[in-house]
């Protein structure tokens, strides 16, 4: 009997122990399920290069649009697209016949006006001679009249003849002046006709390559005027010097300066990067869109440095750039850099309302935190979560420059401290000061397994 009682007590105590173990395991499992899975990383010193990214197209640094001064039919084309040319080389010829005729007409008109000028000068010499004769006759008759040798009528006739001769001299001189002005006008017309005739032959204004040819032999073109730029015949570009034209948003343009270093990726050359420098920054914005959808950008030009594409140059054409006008490119403009500075991953830094840790710990603060952040934008501060033996501790920090991966920590952290780096949603919204966390590998962050 005693033996049975002893065995019964053993069974009872064994059951109690098993029950306690089950309760402990259940509690542990429940506590474990409340832990937030996170990844961590140590704050380290690195070199950060802050960049502004923009897209654009490659264009020659120097590109001249060739348009004729005169209208007519293109009767000769001396170049084709891609040809290398020098200053003064013949490019095209416009039908000169009408301009030759006009030049000859102006030349004949000038010769006629010169003949009229010679005739006017001869007429002036003639009336001057007549004036001298009339003047001498007038002087003699005046003395005779004063001596009462001739009648007053004879004196009046001599005086009248003198005045007429004098007026004829003045008129002849004015006629000579008019003829001289007419000759000058005819010379100017002849010069214009000659200039128009010369402009039927179009020559290269600078060295370069024919980057675009828009007309063919036999087509008619329109000359440039004050109301029109005329027909664009071709473009001459210096393909040795190429640049990327990009548009930068107004929020980033203030960070860009002249001579900033740039990294350029061209779609045509995959897995290869080129170097460039900022040469121009627009002072006026390009505004696109309407009303609230307006986008304000500024044009920035980046010269591609030739040393960065030496390996792409052709042995046959060593002076020709491997880039073609219009190619798409992506540019990273390096606006600022810092060496040996304390950094953490960008996603580690979050913004929270500037309040006490006690408030942050409270359940009421947990419920209203999101609305407080929205209503107190002016009080938002930067924080990171430190990992301390399974507990997340909120730490206020001050950040500096950043690149695509890391951000500078100016104050609030020490080198080597372990910070929570993921997941982003937990850092930005869910995680609170003092929460229990479980450090896992990045691969297991979103796994349902422990």
CA distance 132 to 124: 12
| Domain range annotation of the chain | 35-48+343-444, 67-95+200-236, 98-197, 239-337
pLDDT at 372: 43
pLDDT at 16: 64
Mean pLDDT of the 281-293 span? 79
Neighbour count for residue 301 (Cβ, 10 Å): 18
pLDDT at 444: 73
Give phi and psi for 63, each to the nearest 5: -140, 125
**Do residues 380 and 352 make contact, with C-beta atoms less than 8 angstroms apart?**
yes
**Do residues 43 and 385 make contact, with C-beta atoms less than 8 angstroms apart?**
no
If one compares 447 and 301, the residue with the highest pLDDT of the two is 301
Domains 35-48+343-444 and 239-337 agree in fold: no
What is the third-level CATH fold of 35-48+343-444?
A: 2.40.420
What does 2-71 look like in DSSP terms, one character per residue?
HHHHHHHHHHHHHHHHHHHHHHHHHHHHHHHHHSEEEEEEE-EEEEEEEEEEEEEEEEESSEEEE--SS-
Q: How confident is the model at residue 137 (pLDDT cuts 50, 70, 90)?
A: confident
423, pLDDT greater than 70:
yes
What is the third-level CATH fold of 67-95+200-236?
A: OB fold (Dihydrolipoamide Acetyltransferase, E2P) (2.40.50)
CA distance 373 to 371: 5
Write the pLDDT tens digit of every residue in 248-271: 999 899 999 999 999 999 999 988
pLDDT at 75: 94
Mean pLDDT of the 206-212 span? 89
If one compares 13 and 153, the residue with the highest pLDDT of the two is 153
Mean pLDDT of the 154-160 span? 85
**Do residues 166 and 131 make contact, with C-beta atoms less than 8 angstroms apart?**
yes
362, pLDDT greater than 60:
no
If one compares 143 and 184, the residue with the highest pLDDT of the two is 184
Residues 6+ apart with CB under 8 A from 89: 78, 79, 203, 204
Mean pLDDT of the 185-213 span? 92
pTM score, whole prediction: 0.64
Residues 6+ apart with CB under 8 A from 166: 131, 134, 135
Write the pLDDT tens digit of every residue in 30-66: 444 467 888 999 999 999 988 899 999 999 998 899 9
pLDDT at 34: 66
**Do residues 179 and 109 make contact, with C-beta atoms less than 8 angstroms apart?**
no
Q: How many residues does the chain have?
A: 450
CA distance 333 to 277: 8
Q: How confident is the model at residue 361 (pLDDT cuts 50, 70, 90)?
A: very low
Helix (H) / strand (E) element for 305: namely: none
379, pLDDT greater than 90:
no
Query: Tokens standing for 173?
Result: 């001189």
Domain 239-337 has CATH 1.20.1050.10: no
Write the pLDDT tens digit of every residue in 403-420: 888 999 999 999 989 999
CA distance 275 to 279: 13
């Amino acid at each position: 009997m005693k033996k049975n009682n002893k065995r019964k007590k053993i069974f009872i105590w064994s059951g109690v122990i098993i029950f306690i173990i089950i309760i402990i395991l259940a509690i542990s499992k429940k506590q474990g399920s409340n832990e937030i899975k996170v990844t961590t990383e140590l704050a380290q010193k690195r070199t950060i290069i802050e960049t502004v990214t923009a897209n654009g197209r490659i264009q020659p640094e120097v590109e001249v649009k060739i348009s004729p001064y005169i209208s007519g039919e293109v009767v000769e084309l001396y170049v084709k697209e891609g040809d290398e040319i020098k200053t003064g080389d013949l490019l095209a010829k416009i039908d000169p016949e009408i301009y030759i005729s006009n030049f000859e007409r102006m030349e004949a008109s000038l010769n006629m006006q010169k003949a009229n000028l010679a005739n006017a000068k001869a007429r002036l010499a003639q009336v001057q001679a007549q004036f001298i004769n009339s003047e001498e006759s007038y002087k003699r008759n005046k003395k005779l009249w004063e001596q009462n040798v001739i009648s007053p009528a004879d004196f009046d006739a001599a005086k009248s003849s003198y005045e007429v001769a004098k007026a004829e001299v003045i008129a002849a001189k004015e006629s000579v002046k008019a003829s001289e002005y007419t000759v000058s006008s005819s010379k100017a017309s002849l010069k214009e006709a000659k200039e128009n005739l010369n402009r039927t032959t179009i020559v290269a204004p600078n060295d370069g390559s024919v980057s675009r040819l828009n007309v063919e032999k036999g087509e008619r073109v329109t000359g440039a005027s004050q109301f029109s730029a005329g027909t664009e015949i071709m473009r001459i570009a210096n393909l040795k010097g190429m640049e990327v034209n990009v548009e930068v948003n107004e929020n980033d343009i203030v960070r860009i300066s002249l001579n900033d270093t740039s990294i350029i990726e061209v779609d045509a050359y995959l897995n290869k990067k080129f170097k460039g420098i900022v040469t121009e920054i627009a002072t006026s914005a390009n505004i696109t869109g309407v009303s609230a959808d307006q986008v304000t950008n500024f044009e920035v030009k980046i010269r591609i440095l030739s040393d960065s594409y030496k390996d792409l140059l052709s042995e046959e054409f060593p002076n020709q750039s491997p880039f073609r006008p219009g190619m798409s490119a992506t540019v990273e403009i390096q606006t600022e850099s810092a060496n040996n500075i304390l950094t953490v991953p960008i996603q580690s830094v979050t913004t929270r309302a500037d309040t006490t840790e006690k408030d942050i710990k409270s359940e009421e603060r947990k419920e209203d935190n999101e609305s407080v952040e929205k209503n107190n934008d002016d009080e938002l501060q930067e924080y990171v979560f430190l990992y301390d033996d399974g507990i997340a501790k909120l730490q206020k920090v001050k950040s500096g420059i950043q690149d695509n991966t890391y951000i500078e920590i100016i104050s609030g952290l020490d080198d080597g401290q372990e910070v929570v780096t993921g997941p982003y949603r937990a850092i930005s919204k869910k995680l609170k000061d003092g929460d229990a966390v479980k450090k896992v590998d990045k691969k297991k962050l979103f796994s349902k397994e422990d």
